[in-house]
Amino acid sequence: MIFNLTLPTHCLSLVLNDKYPSFHFQIKTQFQTIKSPNKLKCSASKQPQKQQNEPRQSDNSSTNDKRVDPVGFLTRLGITHKAFSQFLRERHKALKERKDEIFERFMNLKELASGHELLGMHRHPQHRIDFIEWAPGARYCALVGDFNDWSPTENSAREGHLGHDDYGYWFIVLDDKLRDGEEQDDLYFQQYNYADDFDKGDGGVSAEEVFQRANDEYWEPGEERTLKSRYEVAFKLYEKIFGPNGPQTMEELEEIPDAETRYKAYREQHKDKPPEFFRYDVVDSGKEYDIYNVVDDPISREKFRKKKPPLAYWFETRKGRKAWMKKYSPCLPHGSKYRVYFNTPDGPLERVPAWATYVLPDEEGNQPCAVHWEPPPESAYKWKNKHPKTPKALRIYECHVGISGLESKITSFNEFTEKTLPHIKELGYNAIQLFGVIEHKDYFTAGYRVTNMYAVSSRYGTPDDFKRLVDEAHGLGLLVFLDIVHSYSAADEMVGLLHFDGTNDCYFHTGKRGHHKYWGTRMFKYGDVDVLQYLLSNLNWWAEEYQIDGFQFHSLSSMIYTHNGFATFTGDFEEYCNQYVDRDALMYLIMANDILHALHPHLITIAEDVTYYPGLCEPTSQGGLGFDYYVNLSASEMWLNFLENIPDDKWSMSKIVRTLTGNKLHADKMLLYAENHNQSISGGRSFAEILFGERDGQSPESTDLLLRGLSLHKLIRLITFTIGGHAYLNFMGNEFGHPKRVEFPTASNNFSSELANRSWDLLKDQGLHYDLLSFDKVVSYMRGPLLFVFNFHPTKSYETYSVGVEEAGEYQIIINTDEEKYGGRNTISSKQYLQRSVRKRIDGLQDCLHLPLPSRTAQVYKLSRILRM
């Protein structure tokens, strides 16, 4: 991309040519499935042999370490900063230690990020529902709801390790109720398929017949043994060791010889046996061997590998939904309201479960509660469309479902799907970014004080309604991104995570570190494995359950720094590695990107960080954080400052180019916008509100104000769109110059929804807003080897403005912001739309164009014919 900056200072031209293909990128993130690093101390009678199908080694191995360079991106960019380099190396070492800590409890990172498959409320095949919740500070746990008349004793966790483990996870089983006249299943572990009316077990074949067939067809002679008691194996082993009349008490138990003595006696006892009898000959000598390298018999091993597990026989006993409904009534019917009850050192309390997927945060003044969402198969939503292909260039339409309607009320998911999605598609965008979708108690926060991480906001509809929205967007070719808030959490006890188990440090830090400096929110403990499981599983949940295509991580500076980003930054690397940097938060972001890109290769992650932390979009293997894009937050601030504080003739063209191009090393990973929701929601004004203001009819002053507003609105959007990186974002309504700000219902406006909507009716008639919308449609499809010429000057026009070009030829205007159909004045005649280059050195190029350039306009030229000079 070549930027030709010439005098006077309010004229700017730039060329996009074939030498720099527009909007083409490919990002690859490698992810190794990590296996348990546990080792087994043993030795064998013969040297261990490496198994053919041995699981892949941990990424902590030296082989993988050679591919990881903690300061790789610094070396590549030629950056030398001793303190920051040392910080990256220490962070890499700490990340390895954190993974070792994780692998003591989880097989791999995928298991860590799949907590949603186990925790919360889940239907079990054996006619029951399992509930698991993490509350290490609680002494007692139960489920209360309308299904048990809110009784804290009827459905509780069992005492001891049958009810909770050492990490504070509570386990509650809700058994389905046997209907009157029905008897218990003959098979204790009878399974049911709740989705299909009938299954194989409904075919009239008894379980005994299936198991007998398994004995006949699957097990070899001597292997078909049905245990009559769970202790039978232990009894046999005990009898083999101590004989039929062995000791019955600890007092009768004599001293047991050590392993080596017992081994020698065993060999002596079986000295007449053939060599193959000792094929599993293993004794502990203290030497470390990998647990997968157990010595075995090659013939037995090959036979074992060829043999499939006998699960097929077991599944033949499974019955269908009709049999289940006939015999049982659900223990927790679909739509039931419930909460989790804890007994804590400070007394009893009730909470909305942290893993609840559907929540009523404030139902008509009643206490918040979760809703069990388990619709019958015939009414459950079924996906129709696949994920769209990831485009080379992202054109993102930022939306808030609740304010997307014309009427002054909360718009639903279904209304958004039916009315707003077609409008977005027609405009030419290829992605939508939703904020305020995840459940939050206070509507006026626009969804940024999340209370329930796993639930869609019930004020817009049901989980299935949101699935339909995502599915229909995919059908229109639109990717769906979520603005995810993992940088802090709402400080709410009744419906959120605050004091969840009665303690102050369950999910959050204690003391000042646990509180956001200015926003009154709570800060997560990113160094806690259980908190990591909650957050990482949350990302995976939205990607799996709702087919989300990407995440924009909101306000990273709030989590990366203990001062929450509210400090003066000069750009010195010392500021990114001092005592105010939260290393645990950075390691969480690295794992989040690695896991998401491994499990969902198509998924896109976007970093919103006002401090532009070094390495945001660098590979994690090279010391970066692994994001696909970063948000250029400076552009909108620059435009807002220009519009409100600087006269038009004082605008700096060099600052515009410098700000919009951002970091040239990562220009292809930059997401740029002229204005997003912040300008019109966070107490500010939209650009249209500033530019057009209050017009009084057809006075000359009003006409001039209108022309200025139209011209600058188009110029700002055009140059932001064309000069930036591979991603562009626009907030809902800004494309047609929405004249009013957004104001959510609060006490300050008597809870009015008058300004919590979008004035789509302005597009019915041709005029200012219709003209701006028409221009936005053109811009959305435009990119390529083009010449862009901008004149931001409020009054100065040029009959012939010289611009250097690389190719001699004829250039045709394809977009002119001054056209009448875009609200312009038609200053350039149709005869001037075709321009031929002349041989004259301008801007370091040997050929140039002499172009008409009216004030406050921009033109886009395309080379239509090459001339050979």
Residue from 816, 713, 830 nearest 769 by CA: 713
Q: Minimum mean pLDDT among 14-18, 87-91, 707-711: which range? A: 14-18
Q: What is the DSSP pairing of strand 369-371 with strand 282-290?
A: unpaired
Average pLDDT on 410-416 reads 95
The pLDDT confidence band at residue 227, using thresholds 50, 70 and 90, is: low
Q: Which helix (H) or strand (E) holds 306?
A: helix 298-306
Distances (CA, A) of 217 to 5, 129, 212, 414, 619: 82, 34, 9, 54, 52
Dihedral class, residue 415 (left if φ above 0, else alpha if ψ from -120 to 50, else beta):
alpha
Q: How far apart are CA 784 and CA 602, in angstroms?
A: 24
* pLDDT of residue 44 exceeding 70: no
Distance between CA atoms of residues 550 and 555, nearest Å: 16
Chain centroid to Cα 149, Å, comes to: 37
CB 678 within 8 A of CB 435: no
Whether the link from the prior residue into 8 is cis, omega within 30° of 0, is yes
The chain-wide mean pLDDT, for the chain, equals 85
Is the four-CA dihedral 384, 387, 391, 396 of positive or negative sign? Answer: positive
**pLDDT interval class at 783 (50, 70, 90):** low
pLDDT for 761 equals 82
Closest C-alpha among 62, 151, 173 to residue 339: 151
Give 179: exposed, middle or buried? Use CB within 10 Å, 0-12, 13-18, 19+. Answer: exposed
The most confident of the ranges 14-18, 91-95, 748-752, 854-858 is 91-95
Nearest CA to 403 out of 395, 393, 412 is that of 412
pLDDT at 867: 83
From the list 737, 743, 732, the residue with the least C-alpha distance to 690 is 737
pLDDT in tens, 664-681: 777 789 999 988 887 667
Q: Which has the closest alpha carbon to 421: 476, 501, 351, 463?
A: 476
Beta strands in 357-417 (DSSP E): 358-360, 369-371, 394-399
State the Cα–Cα distance between residues 371 and 379, nearest whole angstrom.
17
In terms of residues, how long is the chain?
A: 869
Q: What is the per-residue pLDDT across 561-603, written as a single tens digit (0 to 9) for each?
A: 999 999 888 889 999 999 999 999 999 999 999 999 999 999 9
Radius of gyration (C-alpha) of the chain in whole angstroms: 33
Q: Which two three-digit tokens encode residue 569?
A: 């930054």
Give the tens place of pLDDT for each residue, 325-368. 999 999 999 999 999 999 999 899 999 999 999 999 876 667 89
pLDDT for the residue 228: 62
If one compares 826 and 2, the residue with the highest pLDDT of the two is 826
Q: Among 417-421, 558-562, 847-851, where is mean pLDDT lowest?
A: 847-851
Model confidence band, residue 268 (pLDDT cutoffs 50, 70, 90): confident
Just list the catalytic residues: 608
For residues 785-802, give the mean pLDDT: 87
Q: Does residue 694 register a pLDDT over 80?
A: no
Tokens (6 digits) for 176: 């389905």
- Which range is least confidently modeled, 206-210, 424-428, 534-538, 631-635? 206-210
Q: Single out the residue of 504, 166, 157 nearest to residue 342, CA to CA.
A: 157
User: Smallest Cα–Cα separation from 799: which of 851, 859, 856?
Assistant: 851
Report the first-to-last Cα separation within the chain, whole angstroms.
Answer: 24
- In this model, does residue 221 exceed pLDDT 70? no
What is the model's pLDDT at position 425? 93
Chain centroid offset of residue 31 CA: 16
Range 46-68 burial, b when 16+ CB lie within 10 A, else e = eebeeeeeeeebbbeeeebeeeb
Mean pLDDT of 118-142: 96
Q: Are strands 845-853 and 857-866 parallel, antiparallel or unpaired?
A: unpaired
Ramachandran angles phi, psi of 130, nearest 5°: -105, 140
Q: Are 422 and 397 in contact (CB under 8 A)?
A: no
Q: For 45-85, write each residue's pLDDT tens digit.
A: 333 333 333 333 334 333 355 589 999 999 999 999 999 99
Token duo for residue 377: 């198969």
287 vs 587: CA distance, rounded Å: 34
Q: Yes or no: say if 667 and 729 are a contact pair by the CB < 8 Å rule.
A: no
Percent of the chain, pLDDT > 70?
Answer: 86
The per-residue pLDDT for 173 is 95
pLDDT reading at 23 higher than 50: no
Backbone angles phi, psi at 642, to 5 degrees: -60, -50
Distance, CA of 545 to CA of 115 (rounded, Å): 13
Is residue 456 within 8 A of residue 361, CB to CB? The reply is: no
Written as six digits, the tokens of 103 are 């692998």
457: left (phi over 0), alpha (psi -120 to 50) or beta: beta
Contact 595, 536 (CB under 8 A): yes
CA–CA gap between residue 489 and residue 528 (Å, rounded)? 16
- What own/partner pairs with CB < 8 Å and gap ≥ 24 does 422-425 have? 422/476, 423/760, 424/397, 424/399, 424/476, 424/478, 425/476, 425/477, 425/478
Average pLDDT over residues 705-732: 87
Q: Give the mean pLDDT of 468-487.
A: 97
Query: Does residue 770 have a pLDDT over 50?
Result: yes
Residues 6+ apart with CB under 8 A from 188: none
Q: β-pairing, 670-672 with 629-631?
A: parallel
Confidence class for position 267, pLDDT limits 50, 70, 90: confident
Query: Which residues have a Cβ under 8 Å from the Cβ of 292 and sit 6 or more positions away?
Result: 51, 54, 55
Q: Tell me: the pLDDT tens digits for 27-43?
A: 223 333 333 333 323 32
- pLDDT bucket at 219, cuts 50 / 70 / 90: confident
Cβ 616 vs Cβ 623: under 8 Å = no
* CA-based torsion, 265, 269, 273, 277: positive or negative: negative
Residue 538: which H helix or E strand, with range? Answer: helix 529-545
Nearest to 787 by CA among 763, 762, 812, 752: 812
Q: What is the DSSP letter of 14?
A: E
Give 215's DSSP letter: H
What is the band of 869 on the pLDDT scale with cuts at 50, 70, 90? low
**Cα→Cα distances 55→44, 293, 295, 354, 657, Å:** 21, 10, 16, 34, 52
Map residue 205 onto helix, strand or coil. Answer: coil
- The interaxial angle of helices 634-645 and 653-661, nearest 10 deg, is 160
Dist. CA 158–CA 176, nearest whole Å: 17
